[in-house]
Amino acid sequence: MSDPNLVPKRPDMVTIADVARHAGVAVSTVSYVLSGKRAISATTRERVLTSVRKLGYHPNAGARALASRRANVIALVLPLRSGMHLPVLMQFATAVVTTARRFDHDVLLMTADEGPAELRRIAASAMVDGLILMDVEMHDPRVPLLRELERPSVLIGFPADATGLTCVDLDFYQAGQVCVEHLARLGHQRVALLGAPAVVYDRDTGYAHRTRAGFTETAQRLGLASIAQPCEENFDSVRRELAGLFDRQPDLSGLVVHNEAAVGQVLAALPALGRTVPRDISVVAICPDEVAERAAPALTSVLIPAEEVGQRAVTLLMEKLSGKEVPEGTLLDPRLTVRASTSAPALSPTVH
């Protein structure tokens, strides 16, 4: 029975012994209920949890970590480098943080670009239980170390060789493919890809290379004339890139944009170059839905599923922490949503 003479305490001062007295059980019983290490009857468990709620008890994080050998913290390794679009990155980060909280974990955000040395330091410190890494390069220098670390890890992105790793991402090769297939079905014969800034390709970033490969190889398979090139994010650069494309291919009628920060600049530059969307040129973007929906006209797009990818990454890491087997690679199928920016070409272009 609960003790009616128990003096109320501030929640941050309530101890496990206070909970035990309030619930009329042994301290060890409260510990077993909270840790789940032993089966406790449903009636007793509910009595303990009721006392926990009434008293506002929160287990001491340090004591809990010592008992479980867990820090209840995961690291999100997100080096902030040029060519990265911060709003989309923050969607990934937010998904990781909110999902981690559902597993009673906090997130340590690491933004320094210090490579393997920083990973080794954080893993050796016992500050975190595991790591989630973003901005993965095809030949990422962090990968060999990840295979050696005792701390489990998950990559958002795929290196060229993912053997022995756990990776999750949108299938960017297929994303490039479905964009071209959509334009081909509408009758477009000449298409172009404006991709990420050049520095992203120079870093050998996986998602950019895979999108370009999916675009180029699908266009070749379908017999379409195609150009794929990097694109910077400011208006003058975008206008210059588009003008160059139209100089080389005056009858270009289909455009894929895989650069969230440049989408608005592309839509602003096309009318200045005498092209109306979609009458003169159809535009497909690979971007978050909110970017596509607020564009004028609304953009046909392949969704970048930041929330789902972030959730999957955390769930995979928690499964690894609990000793479960997880798949090495998880690729999410792209979802194309048709909006107002694509249509059949006004005139069938002449292929030379």
Answer yes or no: is pLDDT of 223 > 70.
yes
Q: With cut-offs at 50, 70 and 90, classify the pLDDT of residue 4.
A: very low
Q: Using one digit for the tens of pLDDT, what is the confidence trace for 8-33?
A: 565 557 788 888 899 999 888 887 77
Answer yes or no: is pLDDT of 352 > 60.
no
- Residue count of the chain: 352
Answer yes or no: is pLDDT of 349 > 50.
no
pLDDT of residue 67: 46
Answer yes or no: is pLDDT of 342 > 80.
yes
DSSP strand pairing (282-287 vs 225-229):
unpaired
Answer yes or no: is pLDDT of 119 > 70.
yes
Q: Say what the pTM is.
A: 0.78
Contact (CB, 8 A) for 295 and 267: yes
Q: Using one digit for the tens of pLDDT, what is the confidence trace for 300-326?
A: 999 999 999 999 999 999 999 999 999
Q: Which H helix or E strand runs over 63? A: helix 61-68
Tokens 């009758």 locate to 187
pLDDT of residue 8: 58
| C-alpha to C-alpha distances, 28 to 19, 22, 47, 52, 83, nearest whole angstrom | 11, 14, 14, 14, 54
Tokens 């081909």 locate to 184
| Beta carbons within 10 angstroms of residue 92's beta carbon | 21
Top-confidence residue, 15 or 142: 142
Distance in angstroms (rounded) separating the CA atoms of residues 312 and 317: 9
Distance in angstroms (rounded) separating the CA atoms of residues 266 and 282: 12
Range in 141-155, 217-231, 272-286 the model is least confident about: 141-155
pLDDT of residue 337: 98
Q: With cut-offs at 50, 70 and 90, classify the pLDDT of residue 115.
A: confident
Helix (H, G, I), strand (E, B) or coil at 171: coil
DSSP string, 152-164: -EEEES--S--TT
Answer yes or no: is pLDDT of 144 > 50.
yes
Answer yes or no: is pLDDT of 240 > 70.
yes
pLDDT of residue 325: 94
Task: Give me the amino acid identity at 182.
Answer: H
pLDDT of residue 15: 82
Top-confidence residue, 53 or 101: 101
pLDDT of residue 351: 37
DSSP string, 246-305: HHH-TT--EEEE--GGGHHHHHHHHHHTT--TTTT-EEEEEE-HHHHHHSSSPPEEEE--
Gyration radius of the chain over CA positions = 26
pLDDT of residue 57: 78
pLDDT of residue 35: 65
DSSP strand pairing (300-303 vs 336-337):
antiparallel
DSSP strand pairing (73-77 vs 190-194):
unpaired
pLDDT of residue 60: 54
Q: With cut-offs at 50, 70 and 90, classify the pLDDT of residue 150.
A: confident
Among residues of the chain, what percentage have pLDDT more than 70? 90
Mean pLDDT of the chain: 89
Range in 55-59, 224-228, 318-322, 338-342 the model is least confident about: 55-59
